[in-house]
Structures are given as structure tokens and as C-alpha cells.
Amino acid sequence: MKSLKVFMLIGDPVAGSLSPAMMNAAFKKLRLNHIYVAVRVPENLLGDAIAGTRKMGIAGLNVTIPHKIAVMKFLDALDESAALAGAVNTIKNSRGKLVGFNTDGEGALRYLEEKVGKVKGKRVLLLGAGGAARAIAFSLLKAGAELSIANRTVSRAKELASLIEQKLGKEVPTISIDRRTLKRFITNTEVLINATSVGMRPRIDETLVTAEMMHRNLTVYDIVYKPIRTRLLLEAEKAGAMTVDGLGMLVRQGALAFEIWTGKRAPIKVMEDAVRREIGKVVG
């Protein structure tokens, strides 16, 4: 039997992450002698953690909040997906060389297009300007969407818009997240995406957009998956809008990471079933 390969999720917090169940189910299905664990890494220990993974020969990492941007300076190289987004969520250890990738954007896009068809020409409003939002923004624009960005700190939204203009030569409007401005803007929006942590457990009663700000022809996509039916999605249902939950993105970005690490096609249905079973345990 080949020697055991260890893969990790690092972030803070990571307790209750669905990724170990998802990845270990995929490894088992393909009979790979691999194991995946979640490890809490506080911000001040990120550099030490990456150095430790080198020494221990960890085969690959997933990176979550709050490290997706900060981790880049500790890596040896970036794939185009990470360089473009300016954020990393997947690391491959290639014979001691740590290479950063970003599967968030492509994972989010794949699931969205499964639900609504091609996004080319669609008017999309993205809430957020952090690591996941950056990746999603670039994937949407490369797929031809007409994107606008809203963020609580408008300067961060403008910073992302400036980065997009530098790298893709496209101008992206930015707006503030105040209810009046959002409501007016959403009137002409076809797809609304929440790429912030607002509504994530334990603060499940929070939402940036309420039902009276939405319309029936809107698709509302929340990348938060704990809970699956976030307050934002519940508000969207009240407005008669179509809803897309965050589990699909979680699975598809995970599947892309799996393929980067193993070179094998990810068993997506097995991964999705594992995630839904794990969610069921929490809900049950």
C-alpha cells in the first residue's frame, strides 16, 4: 500500500467544517490512502503553520477565513486562478514547492450556471470584497457577466474594482451597502450573490437584503452554507425569487481542489451526499 498522504483545512474557526466529511468520503470512494483533517490556525500563527506543513510533508491544504489573502506571501508560486483573484483557498505541495490555487470562483460559477444557465450578459450584484468575493468576481467577469460590487467598506469594493480594471481591463461599478441604495440597484439586477459571512451561524438572523428589496425575477445565491437556508434565502423566498444555497459551491470548489491534488476526477455525488449527511447530523 502506498504511504499515507495527509491533507488539511486551515482557518479560524474550523470547528464544524463540512470539508473533512466531504474529502474523506471522496478519498474512500476512490480507495486512496489519504486523510483530511481540519486544524484551527490563529492569524498570528499562519506563517508557522505553513512552515510546519512543509516540514511534515503535508500533501495539500485548503485555506479558509481569515487566511485566503495573507497566506499568499508564504507560498512559492501561484496558479493563474490565485494570481488573478489575489486570494488562495487551495495549496498543493509539489515535491516541497507550495503552489497556491483558487477554486472558489470556478466552484461558485459552475454551481450557479447549473441552476440558471450561462451568466453571460446577466446583471449580477456581488455583496462582499474579501477573498471569496475576489475569486467569484473574476470568474463571473471571465464568463461574461455584467458585474457590480457592494461592500460595507466602499473603499474595499473600489480596491477590488481597481484590481479588476488592471487585470481584465473592465470597469466595475461599486456601491455602498445601505438599504436604500441596494433596493434601487437590485431593481435592475438579475442575480444577487452574497459572498460575505453575514447570516453565518451563530448570527443566523442577520441579512444585508430583505424581501421588500427584492423582486420575483431575481436569483439569490448565498455562499454561506451554515445554515443551508440562510435568512437571506428565506427573505428571497418571501419575495418569490429563485434561491441557490451555498452547499453546491462548497462541493464544487472542493471537487476542484480534490482534482488538483490527486489528478483524478472527483466523485461529486459522493461528496455532496457526505455533506448533506453531515448537515443532517447537526440539524438532527
Report the candidate in 206, 63, 40 with the shortest Cα–Cα distance to residue 132. Answer: 63
The angle subtended at Cα 81 by Cα 233 and Cα 115, nearest 5°, is 30
Which residue, chain included where needed, has cell 464544487? Answer: 252
Catalytic residues, by residue number, are 68
What Å distances lie between residue 69 and 63, 99, 113, 153, 216, CA to CA? Answer: 9, 14, 26, 17, 36
Q: How far is CA 146 from the centre of its chain?
A: 20
Helix 154-168 with 131-142: angle, nearest 10 deg: 40
Residues in the chain: 284
The angle subtended at Cα 40 by Cα 263 and Cα 2, nearest 5°, is 35
Which of helix, strand or coil describes residue 202?
Answer: coil
